[in-house]
Amino acid sequence: MKQKLDIEEIKQKMFDKLQPSGWGKVLKSFIFSSDFDKIVSQLAVLAQDGKRFTPPLKSIFRAFEECPIDQLKVVIVGQDPYPHFGVADGISFSCSNTNELQPSLSYIFDEINRTLYNGHPECVDVNLTRWSNQGILMLNIALTTTVGKSSQHYHIWKPFTAFLFDYLTWNQNGLVYIYLGKEAKEWSESVSDNNYKLFASHPASAAYLKSKTWNSQEIFHKTSELIQKNYNIKLIW
């Protein structure tokens, strides 16, 4: 017998975990909506059919939990989580669950070190909580994917992504958005032009092609300069 999912309890726990960072009040109307009920139900059905997803429900909003909304300055828009079971930790590109450097993050670190630190890394910790804590929202346009398969849940998370960008457009101006990959770039028009928009290919594409380097378009250097200029704050990558 399949265990009945208590969606209301799940939603309440998610909301409670978002309160300290300030995102609870922002996402409350969506979390307690029928749209979110459909998302959770779709994920539950997939899991019951043997199509497990990653990361687990308890971790899907971790990027928001770790990024104080009153310090939000940068939104890095990726595509979807690492598909390998047990790797994704809810913060895009972060891999603190295994502490094993993933190819996409390796390319990112290489570009940060090349463009910002003259080849001498400031930090190579694969846990990117430190970026989130500085006001960098590490977002994927799909917060989950099927274990072993990428690009499986874009349609599931589309209502949430649309809700989030709508909120940011109307309530947050002057943010730096970094769009990584074609799917992420498609959402750039959902954000007002009262923000900075930077674009680059997704580092996973360089990994797929086994390229020696990834062309980041110097997005991290440009972002650091904008944050320094506008907030007089030095981001520590």
- The verdict on whether 80 is a catalytic residue reads yes
- Convert the chain into a string of H (helix), E (strand) and C (coil): CCCCCCHHHHHHHHHHHHCCCCHHHHHHHHHCCHHHHHHHHHHHHHHHCCCCEECCHHHCCHHHHCCCHHHCCEEEEECCCCCCCCCCCCCCCCCCCCCCCCHHHHHHHHHHHHHHCCCCCCCCCCCCHHHHHCCEEEEECCCCEECCCCCCCHHHHHHHHHHHHHHHHHHCCCCEEEEECHHHHCCHHHCCCCCEEEEECCHHHHHHCCCCCCCCCCHHHHHHHHHHHHHCCCCCC
> Of 49, 70, 80, 89, which one is the catalytic site residue?
80
* Region label for 143, one of left (φ > 0), alpha (ψ between -120 and 50) or beta (otherwise): alpha
In our burial notation (b when 16+ CB lie closer than 10 A, e otherwise), range 102-122 reads bebbbbbbbbbbbbbeeeeee
Question: So which residues are the catalytic ones?
Answer: 80
